[in-house]
Amino acid sequence: VVDLSSQYGKKLKISVFGQSHSAAIGVNIEGLPAGIKLDMDDLRAFLRRRAPGQSELSTARAEDDAPEILCGLVNGVTCGAPLTVIIRNTNALPADYEKIRDIPRPSHADYAAHLKYGGHQDVAGGGHFSGRLTAPLCVAGGICLQILRGHGVDICAHILRIGSAGDQAFDPVGVSAGDFGAIRGNPLPVIRKEAGEAMRLEILDAKEKGDSVGGVVECALIGLPAGLGNPMFDGIENRIAGIMFGIPAVKGIEFGSGFKGSERRGSENNDAIYIEDNEIRTRTNNSGGILGGITNGMPILFRTAFKPTPSIGVEQESVSLSRKENVTLQVKGRHDPCIVPRAVPCVEAAAAIALYDAYLDK
């Protein structure tokens, strides 16, 4: 369902635009049905979950991130025309980043972008590659999530692991809206509160050392009808993976029992089918709710791996592109020691976009 680089979707086309320090960032959403009332307070609350500057765990860059709707709504109701939302960049400090033009940061997109755009890429704050672009993604996803909820679908992600501190996993069969509420009530989005405390310590330890740490986000979708998605290259797994790798720092994804399941025998991994009260379900859910690319009515479950933020205060090796020589680099500026907590709503947003698109495409 991918098209051009900053666009996603088939029935619903999301076009994300902006750079970390451009006048504004935003998203154009085409294909929303007409007649849907949007709850802007709910959307702003969703956006606050990924906003920076909220705690000791994230970057000090404070952005108000107030979404401004340019078009597509009439009296708060979708009118069938494209919905465009922008967020002004108010707290930009481009000067921080000039050095990057010459000395690419290890494990950042700097060098690859330099090659691709012939040196014309916007280097300030990572330009179009910045994690800041997940704000408009969350605008689009927050809207899709609202609408999906109106259809009885709910989506929730939690931090499964940060560094070595792990939370328990969702119950693949019984995961419910009650679980979601509990997660959202915790300071960090986790199932077991104690897991969150261990994660906090892991992040603060990394922060203190000028280092960063990665993690894994697990996401569940419940209430989706069976029969969504298509075979082969347009399955729900392809679609979800296609959008998740659009979130910076994602380096892996697995559905259901995933890599673990690949170690098993079929007799262990197969999900036995049964009928009860006229409803067909499976006793286990190693398939993560998707078979042959199509939803089977069980919860959809997947996990995404986030690499540790590459921006660290520790001195690193790099090169000067202009002088063609080896140098050392120490990245300064405001950075998240761990983007995983703020990535949780991004994963939910991306999942909401992918599934609402699939929902409209049925």
Tell me the site size for its own copies, rule CB under 8 A: 146
Minimum gap (Å) between residue 84 Cβ and its own copies: 4
Among the listed residues 131, 141, 172, 214, the single contact to its own copies using CB under 8 A: 214
Minimum gap (Å) between residue 329 Cβ and its own copies: 9
Stretch that binds its own copies, among 41-49, 146-154, 186-194, 212-220 (CB under 8 A): 212-220
- For residue 38, the SS3 value is coil
Identity of the residue, 182 or 319, whose beta carbon is nearer to its own copies in the bound complex: 319
Within residues 128-167, the interface with its own copies by CB under 8 A covers 128-129, 133, 161, 163-164
Contact 221, 155 (CB under 8 A): yes
Distance separating the N- and C-terminal Cα atoms of the chain:
14
Cα distance between residue 69 and residue 83, in whole Å = 7
Within residues 249-308, the interface with its own copies by CB under 8 A covers 250-259, 261-275, 278, 280, 282-283, 286-288, 290-297, 305-308
Identity of the residue, 82 or 223, whose beta carbon is nearer to its own copies in the bound complex: 82
Identity of the residue, 61 or 180, whose beta carbon is nearer to its own copies in the bound complex: 61
Cα distance between residue 228 and residue 236, in whole Å = 8
Within residues 312-351, the interface with its own copies by CB under 8 A covers 312, 314, 316-319, 324-326
Within residues 106-135, the interface with its own copies by CB under 8 A covers 106-109, 111-113, 115-122, 124, 127-129, 133
Label the pairing between strands 250-255 and 73-74. Answer: unpaired
**Would you say the C-alpha torsion 187, 190, 196, 200 has a positive or negative sign?**
negative
Minimum gap (Å) between residue 174 Cβ and its own copies: 18
Letter string b/e over residues 46-68, b meaning 16 or more CB atoms within 10 A of that residue's CB:
bbebbbbeeeebbbebebebebe
Phi, psi of 142 (to 5 degrees): -65, -35
